[in-house]
Structure 1
Amino acid sequence: MLNTRQALTLYAWNAEISGAFMLPQQACEVAVRNAVSDVLSAVYGLQWPWSLGFERSLPDPQSGFSMRKELCTARGKARAGNTNTVIPELKFAFWVRLFTQRFDNRLWLPHLKASFPGMPAGLTVQQCRQMIYYELDGVRSIRNRIAHHEPIFARNLAADYTRMLTLVAWRCPTTATWLDEIESVTTVLDQRP
């Protein structure tokens, strides 16, 4: 059982490590969503958020998360015709779900290898897409915990950092090298109380 001082020390460290994750999390999210935006531009044009074909390709279930509704909501918050203002309005879950099998034929079979040139060799596009989905979903999990100021100290934080770095490396190995040189997650991990 922790005493009050130990609990407060762990609380403060949890906040510090959460802050340290902001840079790799941001680099990961921006790298992935820019890759996806490039693919969507290749398939649906530079104005892909307003493409009726893209909108219709998105699932719209009666309950739960609707990618179609999410796109419409994001468009409503952005400047009309400016794709770059829509991208940050879309929830992370939207980007993660674009890596499900339903988008293989239109998006990933023709474009995944070019969009993620750092993927391991010898894997099929479907295997690569599944790996990206799995890793992104892991990032989504820690991202949401940090955003809601929840404890993350019980997680395998080294694995969480590696997951983010790996996703960046799959998109751009040079950016991953840069990120690994400037991040502070590993330093703060070594200071865990």
Structure 2
Amino acid sequence: MSTASGPFEFDVYNELLPLVTAERLGSYLRASGGDVSDAFALYEWNMRAAASVMELTSMVEVLARNALDRELREWAHQRRGGASWLDVAPLDQQGSADLHKARDRATRRGRRPEVHGRVVAELPLGFWRYLVESRYLTALWVPTTHRAFPAGDPDLRTRQQDVAFRMQQLNFVRNRAAHHEPIHERDLTRDLQFAMDLAAWISPAAKSWVAATSSLPSIISSKP
């Protein structure tokens, strides 16, 4: 029996089917036992869930990148003679490429002065996700970036693994949501908890803000 709650009748959904395409609705039709109205209800919910995921991950991204930037700035100031970490951080090839693109965008390819905050804002979530990976364990994590998550595990290696895994998972679900992919079969409650973990490890205020602002709990509870 159909659980669709929207304003459309069954025949309207059937008219929409070739426009949205059965291929795109494939996972929704399978999850709904082939019922077109139920498939559209789930598809509509998936759109709302994707928007909520984007909201959640954008909050955590801002919190994490600014916490990491703060520690990297302090590290560069103390250990690199006041230099910008953008110039002296030992980034790998991908990280360097991401930074180069961010600087290009922030300066409009050199047509305006570089402002540190603009460059940081242009760096994608994937950059920060890889910045906390084990590849930077000795170069950046141990000397500085672990301090961005002061309430994490006391063991720095465990903290790095915890942070890296959650950043990786949030980056993955954010990318799926951004590209309008199905996330209705994903454990979004787990993703929400990962986001809350990261925020809590950054600061109590960060955790409170994310908990009070995120719409994902109500979206999850409204799944058809």
Task: Give the TM-score band, short-chain normalised.
Answer: 0.7 to 0.9
Which of 114, 124, 128 is the matching residue for 2:147? 114
Aligned: 1:2 with 2:30:
no
Counterpart check, 1:85 vs 2:113: no
Q: Say which SS state the counterpart of residue 75 (structure 2) adopts.
A: helix
Q: 1:43–1:106: 8 Å Cα contact kept in structure 2?
A: no
TM-score (structure 1 length as normaliser):
0.87
Structure 2 CA distance for aligned equivalents of residues 2 and 40 of structure 1:
52
1:137-188 deviation per Cα after TM superposition (whole angstroms, max 9, x unaligned): 0001100000101110000010011111111111112221222123221111
| Percent of aligned positions that are identical | 27
List alignment gaps of at least 5 residues for structure 1: 61-65
Counterpart of 1:34, as a letter, is: N
State the TM-score, normalized to the length of structure 2.
0.76
CA positional deviation for 1:113: 4.8
* 1:111, distance to aligned residue in structure 2 (A): 2.7
Find the residue that maps to 2:71 and give its secondary structure: helix
Q: Distance in 2 between matches of 1:152 and 1:107?
A: 34
Residue in structure 1 matched with residue 96 of structure 2 by the alignment: 68
| CA positional deviation for 1:14 | 0.4
- Could you say which structure has the greater relative contact order, defined with CA pairs below 8 angstroms and 6 or more residues apart? 1
Residues 47, 81 of structure 1: 8 Å contact kept? no
Unaligned runs of 5+ in 2: 1-32, 78-82, 108-112
1:44 and 2:44 are equivalent in the alignment: no
Greater alpha carbon shift after TM alignment, 106-115 vs 152-161? 106-115
How far apart, CA to CA, are the structure 1 residues paired with 2:43 and 2:57? 21
Superposition CA RMSD, Å: 1.6
Say which one has the larger Rg. Answer: 2
8 Å CA contact 1:112, 1:125 repeated in 2: no
Residue of structure 1 in register with 2:209 after alignment: 178
Match of 1:149 in 2: 180
